[in-house]
Amino acid sequence: MQISKSVVAFATLLILSMGCAIAASDQSMRPIPASEILHKVRNHQPVEYDHITVTGDLDLSKLIISSIIIIRNSKFDGVVSFNETTLDMPIDVSFSNLTKQAYFVGSTFNKNADFGGTTFNGYADYFESTFNDDAEFVGSTFAESAIFYQATFKGNAEFNICTFRKVAYFERAAFFGDCSFQDATISGATYFSRSKFSGYTLFDEAAFGEKADFSLALFRGYTTFDKADFSGSSDFEAAEFNDTVIFTEVTFSGDADFRRAMFHGAADFSWTDFKGDAPFDFVTFSRLAIFRAATFNGKAYFWRVKFNGNTSFFETTFSDDSDFRGAIFNRSVSFEDGRFKSRALFERSQFLGNLNLKGLEYDKLYVRWFNITELSFDDTAYLKLIENFRMLGYYSDADQCYVSYRIQNRQNLPLYYRPIDWLLWILYGYGTMPELPFIWSLLVIVLCGGFFYFTADIETPDKKTTLMEAMYFSASAFTSGARTLGGFVSTPEDVKVKGRARYVLAAEKLLGLLLVGLFLTALARTVIR
């Protein structure tokens, strides 16, 4: 469907019809009895009128009409009935005025049906009707309820610039071609629940006055609600989008319910304003999900959502609580330059790709470090997250985040300092792992004790050194280095050290001084908060 062409065609037709109306302004509309039209139809004669008034009820129900019907710029004074009628030729009642009810229940339109610019002042009932060719309602006005329940549109369906002053029923409707409601205005409730859209589906700049129900709807093709306005609540629960869907610059004045919806293509909610609550619980985003510069003024629920593609919340604002508990981000996700004004709940959320928190403003971010696989490096983001963990009492998370920060920051250090920084990580985890210097201490004692035993460079008073004595001597030497610098040059009086053992002894005492100091530092940092 080429929407721009249809709009241009409608505008051209409107101008021509206005010209015709002006030309005929001096004439009254010629009255034609409904019986005359019925007679022509039954005799398979073409029905072609312009600028007439159809008097009486026009009942063409349960007929098979093989002649063309054209009644443009006209007025129907009575009820119009085409119930269970089959129209094998085009019908054109464009720019006409149907003053009373219009019934097309169960009717079949095998050729083009043109109701463009027509005003339906009574109920317009197309219940279970079938349009096998294009259906044109461009610029039409429905003053009462418009019923298209379970209607089938096998060609293109155009409702651009339509005005629905009451309820619009499209429940279980099937659109096999392209479908367009661009610039349509629906003042009452709208029902598209369980409808199927197979082609391009356009609701750009449409205005929904009350509840808009798209629950369980299936959108197989490209779908766009760009700049649409939902004044009431909107329901997309369990809706399925098989292709790209656009909700950019949309205004949801009421609650917007997307629970259990399936987005198999890209989903774009950029610059969208959610004024009410926005539940996205149990939603699956199979591809790109974009919420750039979106605003959530109510509560935002993303409980147990699966983000299988890259996700962007760049410059997004959450004014109330946001609940991402149990959400799974399988690829990268960005909250860069966003803002959480209230609680941000990410308990049990899993970030399996890269997480970007650069420039994110928040007071408390309820997330655990062990659920974060990779955090984009940024000094402020890291340090703010570390402080957040400490404020929440997640000290272990704060320590692990700090270690990750130091490791990633190493590449920014001068070359001569990088080996020292690496040693600080290996020896005591930058002060967060007291178990590391303890393990290193045990390793030094065992290695030095083994050296003393196998080289026989130390002698005890009985001239025989056992493995246990060598280990005891090594442990005493190690701890003596930590007790006092004076002990660094002293040796036990009852043990004679000779040869290479003297150098090993001196090195062990130095390591003892170093490792015990690192152990006490890490212990004080992790135990005393």
Predicted pLDDT at 38? 96
Burial class (CB in 10 A: 0-12, 13-18, 19+), 476: middle
Question: Residue 204: CB partners within 8 Å, gap ≥ 6?
Answer: 182, 183, 224, 225, 226, 227, 228
Count Cβ atoms below 10 Å from residue 279 Cβ, excluding itself. Answer: 21
Q: What are phi and psi of 307, to 5 degrees?
A: -105, 95
Query: Whole-angstrom Cα distance, residue 181 to residue 437?
Result: 70
Question: Residue 14: CB partners within 8 Å, gap ≥ 6?
Answer: 95, 117, 139
Residue type, 61: S
Predicted pLDDT at 494? 64
For the chain, the structural domain boundaries read 435-527
Question: Residue 15: CB partners within 8 Å, gap ≥ 6?
Answer: none
Query: Whole-angstrom Cα distance, residue 467 to residue 236?
Result: 76
Predicted pLDDT at 397? 95
For the entire predicted model, the pTM comes to 0.84
Task: Specify the DSSP class assigned to residue 412.
Answer: G
Residue type, 138: V
Count Cβ atoms below 10 Å from residue 443 Cβ, excluding itself. Answer: 12
Angle separating helix axes 435-455 and 418-428, nearest 10 degrees: 90
Strands 86-87, 273-274: pairing kind: unpaired
Query: Whole-angstrom Cα distance, residue 196 to residue 221?
Result: 10
Predicted pLDDT at 353? 96
Predicted pLDDT at 11? 44
Count Cβ atoms below 10 Å from residue 420 Cβ, excluding itself. Answer: 10
- The mean pLDDT of the chain is 90
Helix (H) / strand (E) element for 448: namely helix 435-455
**Quick one: how many helices (H) and strands (E) in the chain?**
8, 62
For residues 240 and 218, the answer to whether their CB atoms sit within 8 Å is: yes
Residue type, 501: A
Strands 361-362, 458-459: pairing kind: unpaired
For residues 250 and 227, the answer to whether their CB atoms sit within 8 Å is: yes
Segments of the chain with pLDDT less than 50: 1-26, 485-490
Residue type, 404: S
Pick from 72, 76, 54, 74: nearest CA to 13: 72
Locus of tokens 């339109």: 109
Pick from 46, 32, 34: nearest CA to 87: 46
Question: Residue 434: CB partners within 8 Å, gap ≥ 6?
Answer: 428, 519, 522, 523, 526, 527
